[in-house]
Amino acid sequence: MPVVWYAEPNYEDVLIGRGAHGGAAVRRRVLELQWLMGLQAGPGDWVVCEQPPETGELCELLQGVQYRTAAQASRDLRSMSGMQRAEWQLEPWAWSASALRFGQEAGLVMPRISADVVRRMNSRRSWPGGELLSCSGAGPQFQLPVTVCDSTAEVESAVAELSGMDVSRWLLKAEFGHSGRNQIRGSGGELKPQERGWLEKLWAISCCVVVEPVLQRTAECGLQWQLTERNGGFEQKFLGAIGLLSGRTGNYCGSLLGDWCGGNSWWRQAVEFQRQVVRELGMQGLRGLLGGDCMLTVWQGNAVVRPLQDLNARSTMGQLARSLQTFLKSGESAVWWHYSGNCDRERIRLIAREQTGVTVRETGPCAEDSGSGSCLLIAQESSQLAGIVTNLLGDGSGFEVGQLD
């Protein structure tokens, strides 16, 4: 069955009514991420994006992908017979209002779900993520002090409560905005002018703010799921785990692929917890790809797993990373790294030159002056990943490379 991939990687910004913002550089980055959805495309699939790329702009891994604008794809689908069109499947980044409108205008079969329901699914109000599980799968469960706030006064109270628990550093998360976006870190028992200013701007575009302690990231992982229509109901499938790399402020930097997932088992404690959440989403009408992030950390002296620190009721960067697994040979592992400038690009090339058995394959735009992009660093030995990740993240990132062994 051919698939129409509807690319909308700035979905969280769409949810809060901002769309792509920040000038030409940010718009270019959004466009690059739309093109990356081509990594999931099979022969005969289409990727719908705002502006199809020129052939020379694409890396080797994206050559041959068919890109179309929404208007072009809708026109081509409407020109088909009803029987032909029924063979096509729509797989959007998220079931947003624009994705649903596109599917309806193109005459595709659509799930019985509204954009407002999907918006609620992606809200941190619905999934604040306060649960903590024992790493052993047995023993007591813990509750992380996570507070959903609707005003600056409530945020002040939550921060003061954390201070009373000897939590020195805390995090304010907006209602929408995963991958480390739309959040700010603070310390102490009172809000500073910077944090108050951030909140005042946020209340205009967000209904709530989540306050939680800053946790030491021992390791992070994205669990990938799929919900499909089946005999009038739905079927849920666990697709696998993808290692997650975050920067100092929690921003998404890349993914770990290959043998790493098989050699680490801590994330398995989160699978059954997330399975119940995914089942609930399926009962509410969600279909397609989705993901939930989990974390290995320490709370009050106990090694614990946070089984759902972020829920993405939509496709994820981890889903794109899964598609890159097909480019790895048996026994190989890789880092899918996202860089933000040519200096970072050169650092990656230097790593590849200095380490025997490490190769680099570009996955982003080919232009040297694009200022951003991504690449796959493939290692013949999984033990080499530790050195690569340390090199990329730098000291003080909070990531313990021992989790890669």
What pLDDT score does 259 carry?
66
What pLDDT score does 90 carry?
96
What pLDDT score does 405 carry?
41
What pLDDT score does 404 carry?
45
Q: Where are the domains of the chain?
A: 3-110, 145-213, 219-404
Topology of domain 219-404, CATH:
D-amino Acid Aminotransferase; Chain A, domain 1 (3.30.470)
What pLDDT score does 353 carry?
79
Options 3.30.1490.20, 3.30.70.20, 3.40.1350.10, 1.10.1740.10; which CATH number does 145-213 get? 3.30.1490.20
What pLDDT score does 352 carry?
77
What pLDDT score does 159 carry?
96
What pLDDT score does 231 carry?
87
Asked, colleague to colleague, whether 145-213 and 219-404 share their fold, the answer is no
Q: Give the DSSP letter string of 10-76.
A: THHHHHTT--S-SSHHHHHHHHHHHHHGGGG--TT-EEE-SSPPPGGGS-GGGTT-EEE-HHHHHHH
> Do 173 and 210 meet the contact criterion of CB atoms below 8 Å apart?
yes
Question: Considering the entire predicted model, what is its pTM?
Answer: 0.91
Mean pLDDT by 10 residues, the chain (405 residues): 90 68 71 90 94 86 93 96 94 94 94 92 92 79 94 96 92 81 89 94 85 92 94 93 86 83 78 96 96 93 92 93 89 86 76 81 72 83 78 62 44
